[in-house]
Amino acid sequence: MVSEPELDYNGRMIGWNILAVEAAGVPCAGYLGMVTLPGRALFFAVGGGQEVVLSARRKEAGTRAFRTGKQLQIDYRRFPSHSPERGIAPLLEELAGRILAREVDLAARIDAVRADVATVPARGVSDGLPGTGTADGSANTTVPARGVSDGLPGTGPAVERWHEGDVLCLRTAAGDGREPLLVRVGPRGRFPLDLFHWSAGVMLDDGSPADSLVPAAQALLLETVGRLLFDVAPPGIARNEASPTGPATYFYFNLGRRGIDAGAPDSPATGSSCKAAGGSPFRPTIPPGPLVLCLDVPSTCENRCLFCAAGSDDTHRIRQAQEGAAGELRRILDLLRPAIAASPRVDVSFTGRDALAMPGIVELAARIRKEPNIGRLTAVTPGCHLTDVRLVQRLREGGIDSVVLTLLGPDAATHDRVAGRKGAYRDLLASIRNLKAEGMGWELNTVVVRQNIRLLARTLARVESLGARVRLYHFLSEPEIPSDMVRRCMPRYGSLARILDCHRPLVERAVSSIQYVPLCVLPDWARPLAGDSSRQSPEPPDSLPTACAACPEFGRGCASVGRRYLKIYGDGELDPVAG
């Protein structure tokens, strides 16, 4: 049964036809529509104040996926990706279950889609499995994959296409008794129909509202957003937080996205006029001040950390993604060039499984150094490759200032066991010696899991003996991490808090920040060490614990507790912070 045309979603009235979805604990859950692109089908939904898109594609050996069937694998993305809103896991599970229940039919549909054809729903809603028909029983409308430039379902071909600043404009020809239609696609919040980073508006050519044609604009937005999410990098995910050099706005980009999807046609929004402007017509709104760009590079890792869900047999896919990394970096720099030029300082961090395992990482760093106002340039690595001092020298010559390493225990036995590789501790210490010898900066992280928490005080003493301070990360439960791994690795917050309190002088000397820990369980003196990561949760609780609802820090300085942490340990440790 289809809900009313308007759904009260996160305080905003969305004028979309939405198919209500029953998902326990997820308010206002609804399915928006489906798009079939070459090689994948995308399913859009809303719920709990977030927007999600599930991507179903043919299984690939060795690749990670949220859910896997006999023929298909499912991944997802969500917006806002750093939101502390209520959990959406039940909605993801419900939609993934529906998709896999019809995976034979869906796999055949995906295989049948030609490279130049995409199928979009005429109304944006189906009465069963997404993509099997519209709510009124009519068939889906098939339009060319470049339908953004060739036309909208049922509106005739587009005769004009242009950009007005950061807005993509389309004017369709009159036809079948219809007036010409004007559609605008731009940054989120600009127009009535919001989805992920973008929004769309539709009106008649004379500027009057075209409410009856909103489903056509919805179909356009689903297709456009689907292509932008999987063909080109989105305009970053921004959030304000503290950096080692002071408060800054962080932007997160995936350098491997373009390479993975290189076989797909260009986004409808990347015409020649747009490419000259930097590959996307949608430039993010960036506040003035320092910036930090976090660039996730496609890379492998020699370690097999027992808390990491990354697959170990996806070398081909990673190499394919690496081939497009340099081009993706160029697009991102083009997109952000005005902001980089206006910022007083831009720090850059290469992240990933092991950023230094990325071929060409030195060349990427050197390319970034050509931009104005670049400050610190950092790479995150477990330390497997820095045993060769020649790489350290090349990194320094390429412009990388600092390296972030991970220490998982006070000795070889503990570190190697948690890292899943014999010799990992030896390599880490050799890396530190080489970095010191070459005068490069270096920092330490540690991840607290059940397997090393009892030795945390000794680990901090080892950090101090190395002449460093450490960022302390409590193991984080994310939706893609298997539940058995969560149960095996997740330590109690209370256990961590007691260790910190018992060793306060050592903690104050050796710990620079504490991440992913609710404020209320930390000792009062340790709360100033809580890092910005504690304000986000990728797996929020399905229902807010009573203590969190009464806490003035919830949603401001603290994101509550993860859904699966509550399932394992309950909420007895939580107590509202005094206002």
Q: Poorest-confidence range of 68-77, 186-195, 469-478?
A: 186-195
Mean pLDDT for all residues in the chain = 75
Looking at residues 373-399, what average pLDDT do you find?
Answer: 92
Helices and strands counted in the chain (H then E): 18, 24
- From CA 145, how far away is CA 263, in angstroms rounded? 14
Looking at residues 404-419, what average pLDDT do you find?
Answer: 97
Confidence of residue 482 (pLDDT cuts 50, 70, 90): confident
End-to-end CA distance of the chain: 45
Highest mean pLDDT among 53-57, 297-301, 336-340, 439-443: 439-443
Residues 6+ apart with CB under 8 A from 11: none
- From CA 231, how far away is CA 252, in angstroms rounded? 16
Looking at residues 48-56, what average pLDDT do you find?
Answer: 83
Confidence of residue 259 (pLDDT cuts 50, 70, 90): very low
Each residue's pLDDT tens digit, 77-98: 877 654 444 467 788 888 888 8
The fraction of the chain above a pLDDT of 90, given in percent, is 31
What pLDDT was estimated at residue 151? 36
Q: Poorest-confidence range of 33-47, 131-145, 353-367, 396-410?
A: 131-145
What pLDDT was estimated at residue 455? 97
Each residue's pLDDT tens digit, 418-452: 999 999 999 999 999 999 999 999 999 999 999 99
Confidence of residue 150 (pLDDT cuts 50, 70, 90): very low
Confidence of residue 185 (pLDDT cuts 50, 70, 90): confident
Q: Poorest-confidence range of 253-267, 290-304, 424-438?
A: 253-267
Residue bearing the bigger pLDDT, 424 or 9: 424
Residue bearing the bigger pLDDT, 48 or 419: 419
Alpha-helical (H) ranges within 529-572 are 546-549, 563-569
Half-sphere exposure at residue 395, Cβ-oriented, CA atoms within 13 angstroms: 33
Whole-Å CA distances, 297 to 15, 248, 259, 350, 403:
38, 22, 11, 7, 15
Kindly state the greatest CA–CA separation across the chain: 79
Looking at the predicted structure, is the pLDDT value of residue 42 above 80?
Answer: yes
What pLDDT was estimated at residue 497? 96
Confidence of residue 135 (pLDDT cuts 50, 70, 90): very low
Q: Is 80 left (phi over 0), alpha (psi -120 to 50) or beta?
A: beta
What pLDDT was estimated at residue 365? 94
Secondary structure (3-state) at 550: coil
What pLDDT was estimated at residue 229? 65
Looking at the predicted structure, is the pLDDT value of residue 106 above 50?
Answer: yes
- From CA 92, how far away is CA 159, in angstroms rounded? 39
**E strands in 232-345:** 238-243, 246-254, 291-296
Contact present, 58 and 75 (Cβ < 8 Å):
no
What pLDDT was estimated at residue 191? 80
Secondary structure (3-state) at 63: coil
- Dihedral sign, Cα of residue 528, residue 532, residue 536, residue 537: negative
Looking at the predicted structure, is the pLDDT value of residue 279 above 60?
Answer: no
Alpha-helical (H) ranges within 165-213 are none
Highest mean pLDDT among 173-182, 202-211, 405-414: 405-414
Looking at residues 113-132, what average pLDDT do you find?
Answer: 34
181 closest CA partner among 167, 164, 163, 161:
161
Q: Which residue has the tokens 């960036």?
A: 286
The first and second tokens of residue 472, run together, are 């302390």
The first and second tokens of residue 286, run together, are 């960036």
Verify cis geometry, omega within 30 degrees of 0, for the bond prior to 234. Answer: no
Each residue's pLDDT tens digit, 211-244: 666 666 666 677 767 766 664 333 344 444 445 5
Contact present, 76 and 47 (Cβ < 8 Å):
no
What pLDDT was estimated at residue 179? 67
- From CA 276, how far away is CA 58, in angstroms rounded? 34
Highest mean pLDDT among 107-121, 304-318, 442-456, 477-491: 442-456
Residues 6+ apart with CB under 8 A from 71: 58, 59, 103, 104, 107
Ramachandran angles phi, psi of 547, nearest 5°: -60, -40
Q: Poorest-confidence range of 208-212, 386-390, 398-402?
A: 208-212
Looking at the predicted structure, is the pLDDT value of residue 561 above 50?
Answer: yes
Residue bearing the bigger pLDDT, 507 or 66: 507
Q: Is 3 left (phi over 0), alpha (psi -120 to 50) or beta?
A: beta
Verify cis geometry, omega within 30 degrees of 0, for the bond prior to 80. Answer: yes
